[in-house]
Structure 1
Amino acid sequence: MDYKLTGLTPMLETHDMEATIKFYTEVLGFTLLNYEADWGWASFKCDAVNIMFSIPNEHRNMPKPIMSGSLYINPDNVDLVWENLKERCLICYPIENFDYGMREFAIYDNNGYLLQFGQMIAE
């Protein structure tokens, strides 16, 4: 290829932008970079992780947000993230070590999206 991809920023839908802003800033510790209420759009950043949300519009109006996968986030201290979030979020599965070499857990955000946090297990 003659070009380089320089990043990936998921754009997800939310039916409740205010609750999403509150969850991502107050619970997960993201910074709200931009919020355009007239457009129904917001962008967030936490360290090297970027994510955007939009309100459904006439071009794509699903009854509720859906995603067949998850967002997998790699913190430098998964145990500390777990301690910070375990009492503040809906848990999908608690922190554990997996045979494939990752220590991870998963939560649901306010929209129902699955967020996994994982770190390689030190040998």
Structure 2
Amino acid sequence: MRASLTPMIHVPDVRAAADWYAAIGFDVLDIGEDGVEPVFALLGCGDGRLMLNAGGRASDAPRREADLYLHATDVDALFAQIGDRAVVVEPPHDTFYGMREFIIRDLNGFWLTFGQPTTETP
């Protein structure tokens, strides 16, 4: 089977979430409205896609039901660009499994981990 995966997260305010993701570099590819307000948005980040759907809730819980993992080419430069626009869970660091990563929370409490392979693989 050939398929591509587009994660969907449920958010309380699709417009606010789409605007937040756009502010950190995502492309807003489509927004669907029910005649009154946005009910979904399709976002792009490189070759990846993310769908936002109405009906979710914000959370201050330590973790959400889903985390997003994004591969980046220069984690440190990216953190310098967007690290002050979000709650930082973990600043850039090297992991035991051969990745350099940082983790932020979006406006609804979802974790976004940005990672790139280190030159040293465990």
TM-score by length of 2: 0.84
Change (3 A) 1:54 1:69: closer
Percent identity reads 31
**Deviation of 1:63 (Å):** 5.2
Pairwise CA RMSD of aligned residues?
A: 1.8
Q: In structure 1, list runs of 5 or more residues that go unmatched.
A: 57-61
SS in 2 for 1:80: helix
Structure 2 residues not aligned, in runs of 5+: none
- Residue 69 (structure 1) shift: 3.8
**1:113 to 2:110 alignment:** yes
Q: Are residues 1:96 and 2:114 paired?
A: no
Q: Which residue of structure 2 lines up, in the alignment, with residue 36 of structure 1?
A: 32
SS in 2 for 1:4: coil
8 Å contact from structure 2 (residues 43, 51) kept in 1: yes
Where in structure 1 do 4 or more consecutive aligned residues deviate above 2 Å?
Answer: 62-69
Encode CA deviations 1:19-68: one digit per residue, 9 max, x unaligned. 10110111x21111111121611101121120011111xxxxx6546843
Q: TM-score if structure 1 supplies the norm length?
A: 0.84
